């Protein structure tokens, strides 16, 4: 995890995908760390302590335990404490690789429609790979592999899940966006001197390297290539799911696909708003006076570049605003770039030249109206709004009762509410969509051999059972994931719209790529 310090309080800025904190699923960005305890020892309060010292206390040898007492970010009572035990481990980068699933979503006629979901935790590159072979993997290559697997499974639409994706390699963002568009600018980068560089797909000098890579995967598997006649790896209906933790490279991909009208964006009221690039410089190299005592001068961090979307709009501060906004507690937490002191302002530059444009108003209105209607009547949204409203109410309480009896009554009421919400969640989980999980790389060795019917499909295992039984209890996709379920419904709506020519622009079906423009 990445930690920060604010008002003498240590807080979690970001969860590193694949790390022990991420795998434990008990800590969230924004949580405050109150105390740290080594295994078998008393906890030490860290409020007011220097950040470097806190980090030293949390770090340790692999396999040892550290206990954190935290104040959850979404706690309405500042006295709320939660104890979390973390087993120290190295970050397993294989755990942050993209993974996917095929969900069976009920269609308008009652027949299930197979829709794909690809979850990308980070924009990792070849240098991050645990793979020791000559062919290093990367985020864009893994997503291309998964697209091939999902298309072989017959998906009719796709959701790209970028929630909690804090970014990574810019080149990977460009290549990943290139899986869904034919060609063109993906991001504009302006430096401190005002010079603008446009990063486009395909990236030189590789040119069609990504296209060749996709086709090589399919050739090795003995299946038909996935690319359309126009060279687009995936040209079907597409949605991008984001939240307030989707930052940097995630915002570039999301904003670019939105600019091209290639995807509908769904999620929190906006993404994180991280549209700047920083570099660290040693002070001894900045001025002669510092060179006299280089060991004492240290280093400083500078902001040197700013990101802009193909249409010229910056992702800084405002982030990317979804086409369909879903209710979320994240919108009421101070976790965005705009919540930071002295954050750089939003601005815009001239648009670059690219083929495409925002989604037609008719398409957006139809999809948005259908989603809003569901948000007003489905039980899962009623459940979600209850949680959001309760949290907002507690956040607005600026006074804390000092009377013990009143505090007890408040705690009893809060406990009763949580118990009720837990029961409702368990009931909603019974209606979860059925899905099949797809993963890249060798799966971890099981503690004991599971029955054949429970085996999960491995996307790179030649012995994998293509007819593996569908699963609804895999930990990859948490039960009652309301935003994901609604995103799948929106894509399903787009699939249905594609059957109706009145929603087409020229011969371009809603949310589809260039191949559909040929009729």
Look at the chain and report how many structural domains it folds into: 2
Say if residue 18 is in the same domain as residue 108.
no
Average pLDDT rounded to a whole number, residues 386-398: 90
Residue carrying the six token digits 């002295």: 342
- pLDDT reported for residue 113: 96
Answer for the pair 307, 275: CB distance below 8 angstroms, yes or no.
yes
* pLDDT tens per residue across span 32-66: 999 999 988 899 999 988 888 998 899 888 889 99
DSSP-assigned beta bridge partners for residue 117:
101, 159
Answer for the pair 71, 56: CB distance below 8 angstroms, yes or no.
no
Say if residue 78 is in the same domain as residue 118.
no
Say if residue 297 is in the same domain as residue 271.
yes
Say if residue 36 is in the same domain as residue 156.
no
Q: Which range has the worst mean pLDDT, 212-216, 247-251, 272-276?
A: 212-216
Q: CATH number, domain at 324?
A: 3.90.226.10
Say if residue 236 is in the same domain as residue 174.
yes
- Looking at per-residue pLDDT, the higher value among 476 and 177 belongs to 177
- pLDDT reported for residue 446: 39
- pLDDT reported for residue 443: 41
The DSSP code for 454 is G
When pLDDT is cut at 50, 70 and 90, the band that residue 458 belongs to is very low
When pLDDT is cut at 50, 70 and 90, the band that residue 209 belongs to is low
Q: Among the three residues 60, 87, 114, which one is the final residue of a domain in this structure?
A: 87
- pLDDT reported for residue 455: 29
Task: With respect to residue 306, please indicate whether it lies within any of the assigned structural domains.
Answer: yes
- pLDDT reported for residue 93: 57
| Rounded Cα gap, residues 156 and 456, in angstroms | 22
Say if residue 209 is in the same domain as residue 268.
yes
Average pLDDT rounded to a whole number, residues 330-357: 93
- pLDDT reported for residue 317: 96
Task: With respect to residue 428, please indicate whether it lies within any of the assigned structural domains.
Answer: no
When pLDDT is cut at 50, 70 and 90, the band that residue 222 belongs to is very low
Task: With respect to residue 51, please indicate whether it lies within any of the assigned structural domains.
Answer: yes
Average pLDDT rounded to a whole number, residues 276-294: 83
Say if residue 292 is in the same domain as residue 240.
yes
* pLDDT tens per residue across span 141-160: 999 999 999 999 999 999 99
Percent of all residues in the chain with a pLDDT value above 70, rounded to a whole number:
81
Task: With respect to residue 431, please indicate whether it lies within any of the assigned structural domains.
Answer: no
Average pLDDT rounded to a whole number, residues 194-208: 82
Q: Closest Cα partner for 324 from 278, 283, 366?
A: 366
Average pLDDT rounded to a whole number, residues 203-218: 61
When pLDDT is cut at 50, 70 and 90, the band that residue 417 belongs to is very high
Say if residue 33 is in the same domain as residue 152.
no
Say if residue 107 is in the same domain as residue 211.
yes
Say if residue 68 is in the same domain as residue 113.
no
Answer for the pair 140, 202: CB distance below 8 angstroms, yes or no.
no
Q: Is the pLDDT of residue 208 over 60?
A: no
- Looking at per-residue pLDDT, the higher value among 211 and 269 belongs to 269
Q: Is the pLDDT of residue 226 over 60?
A: no
| Rounded Cα gap, residues 413 and 194, in angstroms | 56
Average pLDDT rounded to a whole number, residues 254-278: 97
| Cβ count near 317 (within 10 Å) | 20
Q: Is the pLDDT of residue 132 over 50?
A: no
Q: CATH number, domain at 28?
A: 2.30.42.10
Q: Closest Cα partner for 21 from 74, 66, 71?
A: 66
* pLDDT tens per residue across span 86-125: 888 876 656 678 999 999 999 888 899 999 999 999 999 8
Range of the domain at 108: 94-376+479-518
| Rounded Cα gap, residues 38 and 81, in angstroms | 18
- pLDDT reported for residue 221: 46
203: left (phi over 0), alpha (psi -120 to 50) or beta: beta
Say if residue 81 is in the same domain as residue 128.
no
Say if residue 8 is in the same domain as residue 132.
no
């Amino acid at each position: 995890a990445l930690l920060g310090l604010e008002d003498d309080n240590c807080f979690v800025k970001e969860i590193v995908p694949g790390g022990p904190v991420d795998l434990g699923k008990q800590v969230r960005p924004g949580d405050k760390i109150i105390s740290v305890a080594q295994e078998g020892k008393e906890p030490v309060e860290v409020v007011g302590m220097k950040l470097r010292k806190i980090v030293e206390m949390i770090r340790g040898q692999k396999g040892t335990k550290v206990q954190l007492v935290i104040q959850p970010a979404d706690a309405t009572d500042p006295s709320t404490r939660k104890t979390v035990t973390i087993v120290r481990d190295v970050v397993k980068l294989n755990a942050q690789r993209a993974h996917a699933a095929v969900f069976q979503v009920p269609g308008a006629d009652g027949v299930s429609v197979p829709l794909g979901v690809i979850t990308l935790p980070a924009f990792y590159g070849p240098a991050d790979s645990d793979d020791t072979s000559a062919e290093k993997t990367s985020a864009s290559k893994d997503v291309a592999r998964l697209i091939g697997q999902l298309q072989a499974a017959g998906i009719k639409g796709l959701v790209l899940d970028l929630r909690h994706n804090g970014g990574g390699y810019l080149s990977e963002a460009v290549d990943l966006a290139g899986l869904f568009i034919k060609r063109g600018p993906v991001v504009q980068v302006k430096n401190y001197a005002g010079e603008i560089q446009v990063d486009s797909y395909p990236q030189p000098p590789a040119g069609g390297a990504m296209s060749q890579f996709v086709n090589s995967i399919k050739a090795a598997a003995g299946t038909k290539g996935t690319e359309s006649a126009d060279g687009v790896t995936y040209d079907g209906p597409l949605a991008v799911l984001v939240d307030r933790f989707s930052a940097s490279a995630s915002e570039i991909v999301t904003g670019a696909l939105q600019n091209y009208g290639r995807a509908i964006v769904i999620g929190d009221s906006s993404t994180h708003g991280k549209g700047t690039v920083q570099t660290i410089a040693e002070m001894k190299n900045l001025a002669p006076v510092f060179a006299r005592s280089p060991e004492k001068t240290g280093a400083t961090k500078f902001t040197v570049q700013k990101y802009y979307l193909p249409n010229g709009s910056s992702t800084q501060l405002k982030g990317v605003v979804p086409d369909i906004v879903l209710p979320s507690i994240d919108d009421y937490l101070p976790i965005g770039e705009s919540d930071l002191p002295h954050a750089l302002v939003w601005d815009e530059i001239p648009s670059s030249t690219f083929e495409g444009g925002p989604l037609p108003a008719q398409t957006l209105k139809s999809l948005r109206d259908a989603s809003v209607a569901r948000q007003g009547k489905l039980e899962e949204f009623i459940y979600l709004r209850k949680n959001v409203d309760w949290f907002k109410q507690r956040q607005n309480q600026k006074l804390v009762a000092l009377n013990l009896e009143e505090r007890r009554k408040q705690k009893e009421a809060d406990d009763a509410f949580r118990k009720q919400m837990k029961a409702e969640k368990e009931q909603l989980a019974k209606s979860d969509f059925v899905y099949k999980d797809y993963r890249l790389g060798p799966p971890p060795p099981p503690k004991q051999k599971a029955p054949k019917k429970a085996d999960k499909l491995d996307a790179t295992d030649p012995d994998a059972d293509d007819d593996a039984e569908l699963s609804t209890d895999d930990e990859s996709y948490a039960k009652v994931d309301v935003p994901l379920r609604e995103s799948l419904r929106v894509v399903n709506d787009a699939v249905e719209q594609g059957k109706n020519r009145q929603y087409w622009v020229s011969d371009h079906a809603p949310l589809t790529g260039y191949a559909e423009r040929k009729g």
